[in-house]
Amino acid sequence: MSLCYTLCASTPELQAEFLDDYTADGLVSKMFEDVDTLNRVKEYLIRFRVKKELNESDLRSYIKQFYIHSAQQARRQTDQYLESALRFVLNTEERNNVFNYILGFEFIKIVFQMSWLQHERLARLQKNQSQFIETYIKPIQHAHKINGIIVPKDERIFFARRTYYVQQPNISYRKLIELVMASFTTEMVTHCGFSVSRHCEALRLDCDYIYDPEPEEAERFPTDLQFIH
């Protein structure tokens, strides 16, 4: 208990440093104890073609990111890391949130790196296309535009639209993380992962179809499904 008081009185920097060590020794071990959930998350990542082992280093990084993301959106300071870490150890639901956060974050990262043609294909796969577009596609394409990643030019000219429509985003890994965290709240990312883990068909991702380099005849130019912008 005295250690807790001491740490709570420490600077945010010292608490953040403590969290790094604490995740390695305590938080990560708690997640490894939940073998079924960990394996289920790994299976989904394999289906997403995400190359992550979810080893100790991966989990430590994600736990810290989860709380940094939460702190940013609530405009909280790092001095609340410790409180969050302690809550994480004691609360199974909190740990499940991190598992769902990992799934959701990886899914959204994938969509961020898709071209707008691939967005259209992805949207076509969903049961509720309009909701999926509003929740995921529109915020991502907005981030593409305001960050100069995809710059629509001459949107009224049919052939000019095709150029940016098939452009593959070029985003560094660090920028990608920043964009996801800026575009989606922790709750939205976690809910995305929860949807995936609850039902395998909740968010459909057919990589062979989405990334097919040979477009169908109907896709050769932007279609009426370009509801998106």
How far is residue 70's CA from residue 83's CA, in Å, rounded to a whole number? 13
Residue 197 · residue 103 · CB < 8 Å: yes
Confidence class of residue 29 from pLDDT cuts 50, 70 and 90? confident
What are the C-alpha distances in Å from 228 to residues 111, 119, 133, 140, 152?
Answer: 14, 9, 7, 10, 12
DSSP string, 63-91: HHHHHHHHHHHTT--GGGHHHHHHHHHH-
Helix H or strand E segment including 107: helix 92-112
Length of the chain: 229
pLDDT for the residue numbered 107? 96
pLDDT for the residue numbered 8? 59
How far is residue 183's CA from residue 181's CA, in Å, rounded to a whole number? 6
Task: Decide: helix, strand or coil at residue 133.
Answer: helix
Find the mean pLDDT for residues 45-52.
90
Neighbours of 144 (CB within 10 A): 25
Does residue 14 or residue 149 have the better pLDDT?
A: 149
Q: Dihedral sign, CA of 226, 210, 118, 161? A: negative
Give per-residue pLDDT as tens, 49-103: 998 888 988 988 888 888 788 877 655 554 555 565 556 555 667 778 889 999 9
pTM assigned to the model? 0.80
Find the mean pLDDT for residues 167-190.
95
Confidence class of residue 227 from pLDDT cuts 50, 70 and 90? very low
pLDDT for the residue numbered 221? 44
